[in-house]
Amino acid sequence: MAARGNALKRRVRSSGGRLLRRFGLLPGGMPDGLGDDAALASSSLEGDVVVYFPDTQDSLYQLRSWYGPLQELHRAQGVTIVCMDSRTAAALRAETDLPVVTIALDATLDAIILRSGTKLVLYVNYNPLNTAALRSRSAIHVSLLHGDSDKVVSVSNQIKAYDYSFVAGQAAIDRLERYTTLFDAPARCIPVGRPSLDTDQVAVTVRADDHRTVLYAPTWEGGQSSAAYSSLRTHGLAAVQSLLDAGLGVIYRPHPLTGVRVGDYGETDRELRELVEASGNRVSTDRSLQQDVIDSDLILCDVSAVMGDWLPSGKPLLITRPADPHARDAATALLGMSPRLAASEAATAGSLARELIEHDLLREERREMIEYYLGDVTPGASLARFLEACRRLSARRDELWARIQEQERPAGSDSW
């Protein structure tokens, strides 16, 4: 009787889970697992490269930053995006021409990677669900992440799960050497710059006017207190009001995950949008970062990847100091040399920003750091490095996998 009762409970839980998935009622951040597994039972994936993205739509911004480079890689080697969430897959199909499939079962994923002869599996974050694809030993696994920053996630121990990591420049390698133990950063990291900046440049337009403008680009609240860098609640309203009072234009660029973990951040975001729009300024939610950079004279930002992406502009930056006493960073030279804004100083942001714009004493020192953080920033150079790194690793995979197959072939047999 007990066994029969337990079996019934399992069937109820399974049926309930299917209903929750089908009607989109799963908790936020949980993939629905509605896969194409049956249709893929004897199929192969297109191309040499898989981009594994098991996340829900909340995190799509991480993959969007790679659309341009992945389109170029698709032309060169063929790319398929593999999702675990059918809603995310549908959004991707609407936004990009890249092949997209949804796979729910580990067994399906493992078999199709092997059957397809997949050479590289790329990842844009450290989602714990990445382990489903990391099980495959027939491909080389490469962490791309979605930006280079002094956040603690940039030196996460999770980096050791991947065969290689594509990083922006030497600064990232030095950061990992300094803050990560038992990890050979020079051997496992390949600097490719920021190829997304190359492919996004085609979408920008020339700045329309010379009005002094500040880009405010805070990060989200973070997944834990050690990564609580966001200035939105502690600095945001006072700082933006100060910028406006100083006669400066404002572009407010909210982070896509704002308010996902802590609802109060969402409320502050709404208040800040209202303030910016009521003053005739811009809330930037559908433009490239490169366009916002062109239209701004200074960036006010938190410890985040936009620091490095702003650097090639040559324009000054003002970085907030986190108010959370538990926040930690993996500081490099740019963070150490840049002016910082504490929460208690937020109301002085306008005068400080105007002073930095009109008297930029650190301009040349920042210019000297561009190559250290990003390598060669000549248009197209980073994209070329990215494509060449993928090509070389694909060739290395073929060499290594052929060796493994030969070692595992049964004695006296010509086939598996």
Q: Is the pLDDT of residue 99 over 80?
A: yes
Read off the pLDDT of residues 332-358 as tens digits, 9 standing for 90 and up.
999 999 999 999 999 999 999 999 999
pLDDT of residue 340: 97
pLDDT of residue 261: 85
pTM: 0.89
pLDDT of residue 67: 96
Read off the pLDDT of residues 264-297 as tens digits, 9 standing for 90 and up.
999 999 999 999 999 999 999 999 999 999 999 9
pLDDT of residue 204: 62
CA–CA distance, 170 with 175 (Å, rounded to integer) = 8
Q: Is the pLDDT of residue 97 over 80?
A: yes
The mean pLDDT value of the chain amounts to 91
Read off the pLDDT of residues 157-207 as tens digits, 9 standing for 90 and up.
999 999 999 999 999 999 999 999 999 999 999 999 999 988 875 456 777
Read off the pLDDT of residues 310-340 as tens digits, 9 standing for 90 and up.
999 999 999 999 999 999 999 999 999 999 9
Structure tokens at 338: 């840049």
pLDDT of residue 411: 65
Q: How confident is the model at residue 1 (pLDDT cuts 50, 70, 90)?
A: very low
Average pLDDT of span 243-254: 98
Q: Is the pLDDT of residue 415 over 70?
A: no
Read off the pLDDT of residues 370-412 as tens digits, 9 standing for 90 and up.
999 999 999 999 999 999 999 999 999 999 999 999 998 876 5
pLDDT of residue 28: 55
Q: How confident is the model at residue 2 (pLDDT cuts 50, 70, 90)?
A: very low
Average pLDDT of span 7-32: 49
pLDDT of residue 210: 81
Q: How confident is the model at residue 12 (pLDDT cuts 50, 70, 90)?
A: very low
pLDDT of residue 413: 56
* Domains of the chain listed by start with CATH number: 28-146 (3.40.50.11720), 206-374 (3.40.50.2000)
Q: How confident is the model at residue 20 (pLDDT cuts 50, 70, 90)?
A: very low
